[in-house]
Amino acid sequence: MRLFLFASLCLFLLGFYPPEAVVRWLGPTEYDLGQLQHEAPVTHHFEFQNISGDTLRIDNVRTSCGCTLPDWSPAPIPPQATSQITVEYDAEDKGRFRKKIKVYFDKQRRAEVLWIVGEVVK
- Residue 63 belongs to domain with CATH number: 2.60.40.10
Q: What is the pTM of this model?
A: 0.82
49 within domain boundaries: yes
Q: Which domain holds residue 45?
A: 20-121
CA distance 93 to 89: 11
**What does the pLDDT average to over 26-32?**
97
84 within domain boundaries: yes
pLDDT confidence of residue 41: 94
13 within domain boundaries: no
Q: How many domains does the chain have?
A: 1
112 within domain boundaries: yes
**What does the pLDDT average to over 56-75?**
96
3-state SS of the chain is CHHHHHHHHHHHHCCCCCCCCCEEECCCCEEEEEEEECCCCEEEEEEEEECCCCCECEEEEEECCCCEEEEECCCCECCCCEEEEEEEECCCCCEEEEEEEEEEECCCCCCEEEEEEEEEEC
pLDDT confidence of residue 10: 60
